[in-house]
Amino acid sequence: MRLSDYFNEVVAENASLATSFPGNLRLAINAIMTLDGFFGSLHAELLQTGKITDLPERDDDWKEIVAQQDNMYRVLRDTAYGLKHGNLTGKKPRLVRRSDHASHADVVLINASDTDYQAVEVINAVALIARKMLENLPR
């Protein structure tokens, strides 16, 4: 599957569904996890092409660079890590450290150390970043 197909058929669709049902925790988690996975796949694509010379070899290191540049991505990445690992105890500063730091009612909220974020706002912002990065891939 091409990276653009993965983005359009999986990532963008999950983001759209989460946006359509902002109180649905399952849809929010699906969108968060597929967006995080997309950034791992994007890193692999960038690494494989070799057209970006200063790209870190580890996707975690690259994701940290992206997180330092964009707070919404940082929230999404930290939420995905929290969901995958349950409780983040490492030395890296994280906005979201545990997988139970999400709540829902009419809208799914991500409880972070600095403020609460609406999951759909984070998902939409990061999906836009992902789309722009995909469109600007070196050819």
The answer to whether the CB of 99 falls within 8 A of the CB of 136 is no
Residue 36: give the domain boundaries. 3-135
pTM value > 0.75: yes
Structure tokens at 2: 């091409």
Percent of the chain with pLDDT over 70: 84
Q: Coil, strand, or helix at residue 118?
A: strand
Start-to-end CA distance of the chain, whole Å, equals: 17
pLDDT value for 18: 95
Number of domains present in the structure of the chain: 1
Q: Please give the mean pLDDT across all residues of the chain.
A: 84
Residue type, 53: T
pLDDT at 25 over 90: no
Question: Quick one: which H or E segment has residue 83?
Answer: helix 71-85
